[in-house]
Amino acid sequence: MIQHLYKRTSQAAIAAALLGVAAPAMAQEAKGSDTDIGVIVVTAQKREQRLDDVGVTINVLTGDDLKASGTVSLVDLAGITPNVQIKNVVSNSITNVTIRGIGLNDYAANNNPAAGIYVDNVYLVSPAMLTFGLFDIDRVEVLKGPQGDLYGRNTTAGAVNIISRGPTFSPEFEMEAGYGRYDSANFRVGAGGELTPTLAGRVAFQTVQQESGWQTNYVTGERFGGINRTNGRLQLEWKPSDSFNVRLSAHHGEDRSAVLLHKADNILTTEEDAFADDPRTTGAGNNPHMELKSTGVSATIDWTIAPSLTLTSISAYEDFSRVHVEDTDGTSLSYLDSTYANEIQQYSQELRLSFDGEALDLIGGLYYSNDEISTRDEYFAPDLLPALGLAGLDMIGNTYRQETDAYAAFLHGEWNFAPALTLIGGLRYTEEKKVFDNATTFLCAVYTCSNVFAPVSNRYSTSNVSGKIGINYQPADRTLIYATVSRGFKSGGFQGQLVFDPTVLEPFDDEQLTAYEVGLKVRLASNLQLNAAAFYYDYTELQIYGPLFDSPLGVLFGIDNVGDARVQGAEADIWWKPVDGLDLRFGVGTVDTKVTRSVVAGVTEGSVLPNSPSLNLNGTLRYEWDLSDGVAADISLSGKYQSRVRFDVVRSPAEAIEDGYFLGNAEIGLTFDDHIRASLWAKNVFDKLYRTQALVTSVGWTYHYGAPRTFGVSISYEM
């Protein structure tokens, strides 16, 4: 197996160098010459390290990287990171992150993502909480493979760390305004600096306002797709001494945007047939929109007890609410006019102690979290229910409450037992308890509702030992060869969807993933960095979401353990600065997935996993040059290719296959006196038509498409 992994690693590295498609892998830079890549510093393992010293596959993107590639949301990260797929499962308010073929294709708010998403070290428990905009970001670190020791539960795919720009004791100010297609205007500002000799602060604000959109609602004849999103963040950092530091952070965001329309192939009416050949024209008889609110506070304390010993405490609270209204049937009729309402509160506390020795580094700690999710989903269907023998009824829906308590203890160590060899090891013990109650399905007539079955109350508890063991070999200062065996798990849980059989609300079990990985990180020259890795996953009791259950309304979606799978693949990225001003990033990812054992009728052995294209390529080219004293120009080109992908493997529907496609972006800018920059940008410059999701419902197949070509101008000032 190891020989096979090394072969795939070398193939990926050669492909990256020849094909010229890239994934950035950089963070905080210590710049040398104009072509010197410098030192890349990351905090992926809870402490500052050179990327060259970390035996984990990590892609790291700075705030400047995100701006250059036009990345404004979590979904955009998929375009600049190998073997990562990120999409919205339902319109534009539930996000699924798939890394190396491992993800959760579920639209319910109560099931945790397979990739842990962390914002300033705070884990977000629900995929409903992941549609936030990225603004005032210092860097994003994408860790690939199970992170079973330092991060713990629900990281079978990996982890994404989003780190905002923090306060500094030096004055900082930046501001940007822009205008784009569909009357889209955006504005952001960030400012910070010293408030007292021991206290610094930073405030950041962003708003995006868009009047119309790229879809047309044939029912009203109007352009559709407005955006109304605003976010703000305030941070304070108190440093009374060199050994003690406290950072307080508070954020609030609201999103009252339109919900993207479903393009439906409705089997119950011919109304939309006249627009069948126009994917961007569809129908809605209601007013699809969302109302999202997110508020959170956190406190991070770092206390250096001794020169080699640091105690860290992270306390956080998040409050999130969501109302999502859509017309699932895509017509003027009321077959499935859906409303999803969620309330989520979560609290977490982490304590960890770090020891930095001559040859031994240790990080140990305790973790606790509590979250509560309340949901009420409604489907207004007066035109559908009579056809199903439910005359006189106009609405169907479901409700539930879920509360989770999670406890963990962990220890991670790195022992430099020889000059070029480091042994890595980590263990984490986790206990998780879930209460699932007030769970029922209801039927309504003129808003008078009756339960289909008595509310169900179930409990689920699990305990798990996860972790990793690995070895790092550093034959030279900027060369690392590593091999790891790691295990992660994603906890079991409960259906969050509509059901008619209360026995379906019994819990499903944990899934587990054991990963074998080898990798290489080498600085080939001061201006050339190559990273490559190959992996093999043994994936058991995998949780698959899809049309698994039959009902009086037809096939219903749900989640269950469906069997086992294996995943293997490789990836590589290269960063090259051949001459002053020219920055090239080249990368490639391959993944091969296969269901090896199936225990449900709808999943066929040999099937590929959803959202796992066998080949993906992405890259950026940026060139800067001086036009005159005080005036510089720059051009950025970026692109992504992915091969054929399946959105759903349950019952192997042909409608859920999307062929491969390429997306390209471009930006041209002028900078004056190193402070003012004006730019012209375009996304999807070739106006590619592509689907991002396919769902089968009681009225037939519905689809979501990606945005067409968009373009605009921006002007910014930075001090």
The helix (run of H) or strand (run of E) holding residue 19 is helix 2-19
The pLDDT-based confidence of 67 (bands split at 50, 70, 90) is: confident
Q: Is 685 helix (H, G, I), strand (E, B) or coil?
A: coil
SS3 for 395-461, per residue?
EEEEEEEEEEEEEEEEEEEEEEEECCEEEEEEEEEEEEEEEEEEEEEEEEECCEEEECCCCEEEEEE
Query: Of 142, 119, 131, nearest to 60 (Cα)?
Result: 142
The 10s digit of each residue's pLDDT in 501-548 is 898 899 999 999 999 999 999 999 999 999 999 999 999 999 998 888
SS3 for 231-294, per residue?
EEEEEEEEEEECCEEEEEEEEEEEECCECCCCEEEECCCCHHHHHCCCCCEECCCCCCEEEEEE
Per the DSSP assignment, residues forming a β-bridge with 324 are: 290, 340
Neighbours of 709 (CB within 10 A): 14
Alpha-carbon 212 to chain mean position: 26
The pLDDT-based confidence of 553 (bands split at 50, 70, 90) is: low
The Cα–Cα gap between 541 and 498 comes to: 23
Query: Of 286, 378, 377, nearest to 330 (Cα)?
Result: 286
Enumerate residues 6+ apart whose C-beta is below 8 A from 98. Answer: 84, 85, 86, 114, 115, 157, 610, 611, 612
The Cα–Cα gap between 313 and 103 comes to: 30
The 10s digit of each residue's pLDDT in 288-324 is 999 999 999 999 999 999 999 999 999 999 999 999 9
Enumerate residues 6+ apart whose C-beta is below 8 A from 420. Answer: 473, 474, 475
Per the DSSP assignment, residues forming a β-bridge with 363 are: 354, 412
SS3 content of the chain, % helix, strand, coil (to 5): 5, 60, 30
Neighbours of 181 (CB within 10 A): 17
Sign of CA dihedral 32, 34, 36, 37: positive
The 10s digit of each residue's pLDDT in 464-502 is 999 999 999 999 989 999 999 999 999 999 999 888 889
120 and 249 Cβ atoms separated by less than 8 Å: yes
The Cα–Cα gap between 549 and 562 comes to: 13
Kindly tell me the burial class for residue 601, based on how many C-beta atoms sit within 10 Å of its own C-beta (0-12, 13-18, 19 or more).
Answer: exposed
- Report angle CA 461, 463, 469 to the nearest 5 degrees: 155
Query: Of 35, 9, 38, 55, nearest to 481 (Cα)?
Result: 55
The Cα–Cα gap between 476 and 458 comes to: 56
The Cα–Cα gap between 334 and 180 comes to: 34
388 and 553 Cβ atoms separated by less than 8 Å: yes
Residue type, 558: G
The helix (run of H) or strand (run of E) holding residue 8 is helix 2-19
- Is the pLDDT assigned to residue 11 strictly greater than 50? no
The pLDDT-based confidence of 26 (bands split at 50, 70, 90) is: very low
Kindly tell me the burial class for residue 447, based on how many C-beta atoms sit within 10 Å of its own C-beta (0-12, 13-18, 19 or more).
Answer: exposed
The Cα–Cα gap between 539 and 527 comes to: 39
Q: What are phi and psi of 248, to 5 degrees?
A: -110, 135
The Cα–Cα gap between 701 and 263 comes to: 8
Alpha-carbon 542 to chain mean position: 19
pLDDT recorded at residue 206: 96
Residue type, 412: H
Query: Of 229, 246, 226, 228, nearest to 237 (Cα)?
Result: 246
The Cα–Cα gap between 396 and 384 comes to: 11
Q: Which two tokens stand for residue 491?
A: 């906890």
The 10s digit of each residue's pLDDT in 134-182 is 899 999 999 999 999 999 888 999 999 999 999 999 999 999 999 999 9
The Cα–Cα gap between 105 and 116 comes to: 15
Q: Which two tokens stand for residue 439?
A: 């769970």
Report the chain's C-alpha Rg in angstroms: 25
pLDDT recorded at residue 149: 93
348 and 368 Cβ atoms separated by less than 8 Å: yes
The Cα–Cα gap between 234 and 443 comes to: 45
Residue type, 423: L
Query: Of 645, 643, 650, nearest to 696 (Cα)?
Result: 650
pLDDT recorded at residue 554: 63
Write down the CATH superfamily of domain 2-718.
Answer: TonB-dependent receptor, beta-barrel domain (2.40.170.20)
pLDDT recorded at residue 20: 35
134 vs 670, more confident = 670
- Is the pLDDT assigned to residue 15 strictly greater than 70? no
Query: Of 536, 537, 567, nearest to 4 (Cα)?
Result: 536
Q: What are phi and psi of 419, to 5 degrees?
A: -55, -35
The Cα–Cα gap between 482 and 498 comes to: 46
Q: Which two tokens stand for residue 338?
A: 């859906």
pLDDT recorded at residue 133: 84
The Cα–Cα gap between 1 and 426 comes to: 23
pLDDT recorded at residue 31: 36
664 and 636 Cβ atoms separated by less than 8 Å: no
107 and 94 Cβ atoms separated by less than 8 Å: yes
Q: Is 359 helix (H, G, I), strand (E, B) or coil?
A: coil
Query: Of 74, 64, 92, nearest to 176 (Cα)?
Result: 64
- Is the pLDDT assigned to residue 27 strictly greater than 50? no
Q: Which two tokens stand for residue 21?
A: 């498609």
Rounded average pLDDT over 652-660 = 92
The Cα–Cα gap between 684 and 588 comes to: 20
Neighbours of 471 (CB within 10 A): 16
The Cα–Cα gap between 258 and 698 comes to: 24
437-441, 542-546, 665-669, 671-675 — which is least confidently predicted? 542-546
The Cα–Cα gap between 81 and 89 comes to: 20
- Is the pLDDT assigned to residue 76 strictly greater than 70? yes
- Is the pLDDT assigned to residue 28 strictly greater than 50? no
The pLDDT-based confidence of 8 (bands split at 50, 70, 90) is: very low
24 and 620 Cβ atoms separated by less than 8 Å: yes
